[in-house]
Amino acid sequence: MILSRGTRAFLWAVAALVLAFVYLPLVVVVIGSFNPARTFGWPPEGFSLTWWSAALHNDGLLHAVWTSLQVAFWAVSVSLLLGTMLSFGVARYRWFGREAVSFLVVLPITLPGIVTGVALQNAFLNYSVLGISLGFWTVVIGHATFTIVVVFNNVVARLRRTATSFEDASMDLGAHTFRTFWHITLPSVRSALAAGALLAFGLSFDEIIVTQFTSGPAVTTLPIWIYDNFTRPNQAQIVNVVAAILILVSVLPVYATQRLAGEDSGMGRRRGRRRDRGADDLAFTAATAPAAEYPQA
Amino acid sequence: MTTTAPPQPSARGGQGVVHRVSGSLFRHPRGRLGVLLTPPLLWLVVAYLAALVALLVTAFYTTDSLTGQIIRQPTLENFQTIVTEPIYRILTVRTVSVAVLVTVIDALLAVPFGLFLSKVVSRRTQGFLVVAMLVPLWASYLVKAYAWRTLFEDGGVLDWMLKPFGIQSPGFGMAAVVVVECYLWFPYMVVAVFAGYERLPNTLLEASSDLGAKGWRTFRSVVLPMVFPAIVAGSVFTFSLTLGDYIAVSLVGGQVQFLGNVIYNYVAGSANQPLGAALSMIPIALVLLYLFLIRRSGALSEL
């Protein structure tokens, strides 16, 4: 795009400000985690790994991490299964009510999390015919409600871009439905599934609002643990270490999505479609907003 | 005399079943569709839609003020309370105003930033910047809110940074809430807007300047109309997420309360679930109204 020198300077300035704004708090937390003081203070009093060591030996914390991993595992499993089935139904068939269902499935991410939380808690406590009480499985149900969407979005977008001709050919050559699915369909949506699963995992691992409403007193996920320990006098610095770890660890899923996008654009590069990569990368990672991947209905 | 055994349906046992199922699925596309759709639709309807309906029903119930038990007799009491008590109107207006303000600020930042990311920098720089934008998106929501708490607190980082200029940090309160909400949901807006810019072919921009349009004119007449649906798609998230937030508000808001804080207090503490349910109809109605208003912009297909 042809831009004047002034406009370019303005855009560079905006970008620099935005990046500074985005990274300032994150850098402060990471630096603060090495502060030996008992409470968070600025500037730090020195450098020490005391609180890192304390955090890594904190049983409550480790238990909360383990709980979060288990919740995320089940939420992702349910989402992969149901989200994939739904995306095949929506992308490959025409049926009455398809548009309505496509809208219904994105509703959990367009309505605020508190609505999902309040609705589920109310349903579990006041209308449950099965006598469910709040606990591990209600948290899984709560998380799966919105993680299904991200798997669905990723897979449905992929299906709309892939023709069924390979599947037809496979069947013409005598492969049955399941064999065709295993050898042809699954490999073509594999990276979309992986990206969806990764995003679903990230959303579940990070979720606090829905968890607060569906967990009851017995279940402590990592976000709940962080929330409970913010204000405790001797825990504040451990929370800071956890925060620093979570910031540093968030590089991993970004790296993974870049790899996934690279895998996909292997073909694209040869066809000179390199230009699309950026948008696809974002589509994978955009929590709940895979704009570029989502079909133009 | 030996009788010939009737021919076996399949000599290969287990594989026969697979073939039979596979064959019947192949012959009956509707059956295939049914198998695909039943489990996810059952889940969506039972676990989500039914819960929303149940919430609406509860909104018409009341709570016994002595025992705290829910009285299952439909009345309009909760809705009357919401309309007549000024506190709920104040909360709603405050929450919605901040949600709109946050959306506008995020859009104002994301439009130039997305343009920069998509059309100004080199491929290499773009790759780097995209990663730089994605890392904070994956960083925990709670951690980001917590980080801002350490910035805004009394004697915190902002105080330290601003002291040389003789300015004090605004501390916990409304200003902090607006900043933090903008911060938390900004990546959602950037991602949507950037994807919008990436779909905009460069040839259109070249055509516009060939026809004599300067940068601003091209931006106003070509770029903005084409990126607008993406901005609207991003705005759904910034608006809705701010509207329902209460955790960041409680961390950096000081005395400031949002609609979400009141709903949380009524529902999670089981103090008055029916009133909480009725109050949560406000964000639901507002978001549905917003989705209805933007349905013509083409943004819905980008969610």
Report B:196-235 residues touching A (Cβ under 8 A). 196, 198-199, 202, 205-206, 209, 214-215, 218, 230, 233-234
Long-range CB pairs of A60-67, under 8 A, 24+ apart, other chains included: A60/A220, A60/A225, A61/A222, A61/A225, A61/A238, A61/A242, A63/A220, A64/A220, A64/A221, A64/A222, A64/A224, A64/A225, A65/A222, A67/A136, A67/A219, A67/A220, A67/A221, A67/A222
Residue A238 pLDDT > 60: yes
Q: Indicate the residue of A14, A145, A171 with minimum beta-carbon distance to B47.
A: A145
**Residue B278 predicted with pLDDT over 90:** yes
Mean per-residue pLDDT of chain A: 82
Quote the pLDDT of residue B19.
80
Residue B3 pLDDT level (bands cut at 50, 70, 90): low
Mean pLDDT value of segment A220-245: 86
Which residues in chain A are closer than 8 Å to B23, comparing Cβ atoms? 176
pLDDT digits (tens, 9 = 90+) for A112-137: 999 999 999 998 888 876 677 888 99
Percent of chain B with pLDDT over 90: 43
Residues 6+ apart with CB under 8 A from B47: A120, A141, A144, A145
The CA radius of gyration of chain B, in Å to the nearest whole number, is: 28
B121, containing H or E segment: none
Q: What percent of chain A has pLDDT over 70?
A: 86
Query: Looking at beta carbons, which residues of chain A come within 8 Å of B143?
Result: 29, 226, 242-243, 246-247
Q: Is the pTM of this model over 0.95?
A: no
Question: A296: distance to nearest CA of chain B, Å?
Answer: 6
Contact A103, A153 (CB under 8 A): no
Name chain A contacts of B183, Cβ cutoff 8 Å.
21-22, 25
Q: What is the pLDDT of residue A251?
A: 86
B150 close to A42: Cβ distance less than 8 angstroms: yes
Using CB atoms, pick whichever of A89, A113, A291 lies closest to residue B195: A291
Q: Buried b vs exposed e over B188-216: b needs ≥16 C-beta within 10 Å?
A: bbbbbbbbbbbbbeeeebeebbeeebebe
DSSP, collapsed to helix, strand or coil, labels residue B63 as: strand
A contacts of B213 (beta carbons < 8 Å)? none
Residue B302: per-residue pLDDT: 67
| CATH value of A59-293 in 1.10.3720.10, 1.10.3370.10, 3.40.47.10, 1.10.3080.10 | 1.10.3720.10
Per-residue pLDDT tens digits for B214-273? 878 888 888 999 999 999 999 999 999 999 999 999 999 988 999 999 999 998 877 788
Overall average pLDDT of the B157-177 stretch:
83
Query: With 60 as the cut, is the pLDDT of residue B140 above it?
Result: yes
Residue of A nearest to B36 (CA): A85
Average pLDDT, whole number, for chain B? 86
B145: left (phi over 0), alpha (psi -120 to 50) or beta: alpha
Could you state, in order of their start, the residue ranges of all structural domains in chain A? 59-293
Structure token digits, residue A196: 């969806």
- Give me the pLDDT at residue B66, please: 72
pLDDT classification of A1: cutoffs 50, 70, 90? low
Determine the residue among A33, A110, A259 to mutate to test chain B binding: the one whose Cβ has the most chain B Cβ atoms within 10 Å: A110
Q: What's chain B's length in residues? A: 303
* Average pLDDT rounded to a whole number, residues A53-75: 92
pLDDT greater at residue A75 or residue B9: A75
The model's pLDDT over B108-137, given as tens digits with 9 standing for 90+, comes to 999 999 999 998 888 888 888 888 888 888
Identify the H or E element spanning A176: none
A253, closest residue in chain B (CA to CA): B138
What tens digit of pLDDT does each residue of A214-226 get? 998 889 999 999 9
The confidence score (pLDDT) of residue A2 equals 65
Residues 124-183 of B with CB under 8 A from A: 126-127, 129-144, 146-151, 153, 155-157, 160, 183
CA dihedral A48, A53, A58, A64 (to 10 degrees): 90
What is the DSSP code string of A45-67?
A: -----HHHHHHHT-HHHHHHHHH
Instruction: Give residue B1's pLDDT.
Output: 45
* pLDDT at A236 > cutoff 90: no
Asked if the model's pLDDT at residue B206 lies above 50, the reply is yes
Contact A229, A235 (CB under 8 A): yes
Confidence of residue A18 (pLDDT cuts 50, 70, 90): very high
Q: Do B191 and A88 touch (CB under 8 A)?
A: no
pLDDT at B281 over 70: yes
Q: What is the structure's pLDDT at B155?
A: 76
pLDDT for residue B56 is more than 50: yes
Question: What pLDDT sits at residue B98?
Answer: 96
Q: What is the pLDDT of residue B16?
A: 76
Per-residue model confidence (pLDDT) at position B9: 47
The pLDDT value recorded for residue A268 is: 40
Residue B48 and residue A108: Cβ atoms within 8 Å?
Answer: yes
Residue with tokens 């349009």: B213
**C-beta atoms of A297 and B218 within 8 A:** no
Token pair 């406000």 is at which residue? B282
